[in-house]
Chain A
């Protein structure tokens, strides 16, 4: 137990990162729901619309937990490198990769990008990550500010996680009962 504890980031940082991850995933999912809502209103009743919302929230919770697990796993196997400064490093990854994913999904409609294009995009994302990480490491005040902002996001986990759980219960009810 002690061995695991030593390899994992502290609770406060984990909570801040989870809050930010949950915020990004759930907010994007709610955006998707609201985008489709006018069309749902054309043919679904309120129960069915809430049903769709349940699926989306349950899936967001699943996505958040899996990605948080991956971040903690990477932190665990990386030794001190990622555990130290877990909050700002993971926060930065979520922010930059999240933005990249938004761009990526819009450009992936019917054609697979070329290997060169893909490598160039990955290199660009990595470059941005490195630049921001260097800036955060170099300017401690910037890092503190970034960590403080992330900490504020932990409040979202108190709202979104129960929403995800309610969604999960809703999905169970719709499919089992």
Chain B
């Protein structure tokens, strides 16, 4: 009786054990064959420039020519003029780009390593392309790199965030934490040994490492003062713009076709560190419009301070553009543009107005949410311009439509015009910031913008401040006159639509 219960004999066990490597090999072979079978399909190269605002690019009407090389790239690409990010900072912005979902769906809301909800963990580009394309993921921004850690099982190659940096002092990138990068990040680099303001959770080693890091950074800044007079660019680790582009070129040169390649570069994210060629060159060249400080501004910066920062940002854009020019040249000369969709975009914008600098704000105006989107289809030889509104949630459905001829049912976005979709000038585009809201609870503390037909309704719902604002972007592109109090019919209609949407997305999270 006892023997009958035995599930495996020793002989059976040995047989199965011997067949495991063969099964592994067969599995790899099968997936390799499948990838080969689909090798006629075009590849995808996504280049994300963190915190790049369309409002600071001459391609989108800025008076200074900050990105001439990107303009050159645009000559063989489709330029989306009214493209908006779904989030206002890296985590929700990147998660929307990768998943085709709005932040209220993917729930990567807070600043940290939370990632998208389990429900949507497989709803992203890498999973979508897994069977047909080899995939490479790289994010220099440590926060968006956490999303790549979450999607790691769908990535054939996950390049460590510090791979192209000058220094390497990030703990969670260590190979020993490979399986647990997000939690290791929250533990080490966001807690035990931190950078910037606040206490380390390590009493003795924390400050010692802080001191050592600062000493090394000071030394590096001195060493490269001739090249970077304001200090080396810094993405928690210092880096050189040229190294970053060289690294990307090297990896792109090794691509096996067809591939899905995601490169998320830190520039032009703060701190703005232009090269010597451009540092200080834009002083007094352009005086932006002075806008009143917003009641929700936490920094309440002066106009002079904001202007100085904008100048540094523009100079940093010029410096970064000079390097990316080499990247675009490589894409052209290597033939990668002939058989790849090359997408250039951002995760969110950057603002220098209303008392705020950067993007860690509750405010929600064009400089922060209007981002560039340029798509060069394989072999595209001339420029196209799309003026109907589009969202960062549209990238996944567009690629899916173009490459697989279908759009997944779970996406919030839709296929872009000239990428299998039709222009829809009446479309509603949302941007959501709910960084203080729990990912597991209904949205109750947030800023939300609804852009439609060249108008924008903004809903600020924060403790002690609940307000709607409404702007006519055609008459007032600088968003100076809030006409919500006049109660235009369109504003009321959009308000109703927004509140209905809010109720709909919150229903799932109400107890």
Contact = CB atoms under 8 A, between A and B. Distances in A.
Contacts of B180: 51, 171, 174-175
A42 B437 CA distance: 7
14 contacts: A28-B202, A32-B201, A36-B191, A39-B111, A43-B109, A44-B112, A52-B187, A55-B184, A56-B191, A98-B204, A101-B206, A106-B199, A108-B210, A112-B218
Contact of A42 (B114, B191, B202): B114
Contacts of B204: 25, 63, 67, 97-98, 101
A156 interface: no
A138 interface: no
B192 A56 contact: yes
Contacts of A4: none
B188 interface: yes
A33 interface: yes
Nearest to A67: B204
A28 B206 CA distance: 11
Interface of B: 107-115, 176-180, 182-184, 186-188, 190-192, 196-207, 210-211, 214-215, 217-218, 436-439
A175 B200 contact: no
Interface of A: 24-25, 28-29, 31-33, 35-36, 39-44, 48, 51-52, 55-56, 59-60, 63, 67, 97-98, 101-102, 104-106, 108-112, 171, 174-176
Contacts of B188: 55, 59
A101 B205 CA distance: 9
A90 to B, nearest CB: 13
B191 A33 contact: yes
Contacts of B111: 39
Most chain B C-beta atoms within 10 Å of own C-beta, residue among A43, A63, A109, A174: A43
A81 B128 CA distance: 68
Given A98-B204, A112-B218, A175-B178, A55 B110 contact: no
Contacts of A32: 191-192, 199-202
Contact of A175 (B109, B177, B201): B177
A56 B182 CA distance: 14
B167 to A, nearest CB: 15
Contacts of B207: 101, 104-105, 108
A67 B217 CA distance: 26
Nearest to A109: B197
B179 A43 contact: no
A34 B201 CA distance: 10
A70 to B, nearest CB: 10
A105 B193 CA distance: 10
B110 A42 contact: yes
Given A39-B112, A108-B207, A109-B197, A29 B186 contact: no
A106 B203 CA distance: 11
A111 B231 CA distance: 12
Contact of B112 (A28, A42, A101): A42
Which one of A33, A42, A111 has the highest number of Cβ atoms from chain B below 10 Å of its Cβ? A42
Contacts of A24: 203
A36 B183 CA distance: 13
A59 B112 contact: no
Contact of B199 (A59, A102, A174): A102
Contacts of B211: 104, 108, 112
Instruction: Name, among A51, A105, A108, the residue most crowded by chain B CB atoms within 10 Å (CB to CB).
Output: A105
